[in-house]
């Protein structure tokens, strides 16, 4: 054995020794993963994500993937000539927009992610299964209600976002049947739900991931996005936050823009029973493995 080969062997053994305690911690535990529209990136990034999800399953973890797709929906709406309207950054989802959103989310994106997982897991017989919240009434929703202040009168006004829903009930039986089956399945869930009356609604994917994580009593929820995590006023990564600190970050303006709903989702998930939520950069190679199986992780961890 050459010196280089011996050094590589020692490095591999050291990595395994460091990871083993964490592998045992997550053995047979559910980890819910929000795979964001911007974090999907290029095909090579998607393939790497799929391979890491398969590896989690092979290590005894039960990953459940929830994906977004805002940029992809916007591109398809443009192609279809459907004009989008936004209120305070939230897309108003009329009937035409809802049809396109369901086609993109439950169709192209959902099946592509499930297929990448199946291809990555071919040798280990790990397979991705594409679902939406409409399947087996996995996600029951009600119409979302938002308010905004009139800039002149400062009076709160109700904003109609159309077919945008909020989960009111999660029935996890279908997901549990898949993750605890003798075969190795990884559910991939599109953020589409159905009302009691049978109407289809688009749901924020972060919200779906949080609601599923709570219903499945997940050990961890990973919010993969396109930033490192929550940054302080100096632009440095905040490694850990309590719920109180997360609320303070929102109130003080440390968290801005799209980070606010992510922190709100994290807070709600932890309050519903999830042990901890991590916001991390899904574009970084092996970000999930680094977060779960190393001492320092790779993002911002929020816990009670």
Residue 76 vs residues 80, 90, 112, 210: alpha-carbon distances, Å: 6, 17, 16, 27
Q: Could you tell me the two tokens for 174?
A: 């279908």
Residue 282 annotated in ligand binding = no
Give residue for tokens 């159309």: 162
Distance CA 246, CA 229 (A): 12
Other C-beta atoms lying within 10 Å of the C-beta of residue 251: 9
Task: Collapse the DSSP code of 72 into the 3-class scheme (helix H, G, I; strand E, B; otherwise coil) and give the result.
Answer: helix
Residue 60 annotated in ligand binding = no
CB 250 within 8 A of CB 282: no
Calculated CA dihedral for residues 110, 113, 114, 116, nearest 10 degrees: 160
CB 164 within 8 A of CB 143: yes
Task: Collapse the DSSP code of 269 into the 3-class scheme (helix H, G, I; strand E, B; otherwise coil) and give the result.
Answer: helix
Residue 91 annotated in ligand binding = yes
Binding residues: 69-70, 91, 202
Binding residues for substrate: 69-70, 91, 202
């Amino acid at each position: 054995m050459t010196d280089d080969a011996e050094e590589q062997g020692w490095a591999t053994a050291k990595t395994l020794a460091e990871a083993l305690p964490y592998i045992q911690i997550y053995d047979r535990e559910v980890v819910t993963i929000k795979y964001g529209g911007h974090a999907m990136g290029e095909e090579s990034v998607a393939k790497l994500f799929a391979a890491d999800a398969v590896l989690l399953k092979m290590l005894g973890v039960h990953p459940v993937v929830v994906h977004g797709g805002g940029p992809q929906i916007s591109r398809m709406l443009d192609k279809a000539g459907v004009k989008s309207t936004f209120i305070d950054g939230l897309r108003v989802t009329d009937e035409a927009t809802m049809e396109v959103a369901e086609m993109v989310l439950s169709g192209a994106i959902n099946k592509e992610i499930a297929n990448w997982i199946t291809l990555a897991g071919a040798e280990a017989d790990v397979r991705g299964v594409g679902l939406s919240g409409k399947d087996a009434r996995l996600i029951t929703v009600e119409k979302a209600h938002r308010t905004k202040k009139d800039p002149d009168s400062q009076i709160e006004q109700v904003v109609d976002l159309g077919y945008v829903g909020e989960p009111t009930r999660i029935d996890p039986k279908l997901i549990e049947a898949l993750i605890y089956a003798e075969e190795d399945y990884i559910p991939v869930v599109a953020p589409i739900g159905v009302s009691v009356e049978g109407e289809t609604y688009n749901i924020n994917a972060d919200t779906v991931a949080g609601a599923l994580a709570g219903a499945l009593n997940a050990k961890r929820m990973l919010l993969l996005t396109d930033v490192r995590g929550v940054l302080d006023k100096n632009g440095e990564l905040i490694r850990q936050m309590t719920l109180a600190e997360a609320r303070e970050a929102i109130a003080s303006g440390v968290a801005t823009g799209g980070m606010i709903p992510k922190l709100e989702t994290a807070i709600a998930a932890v309050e519903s029973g999830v042990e901890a939520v991590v916001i991390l950069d899904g574009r970084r190679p092996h970000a999930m493995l680094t977060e779960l199986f190393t001492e320092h992780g790779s993002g911002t961890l929020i816990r009670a």
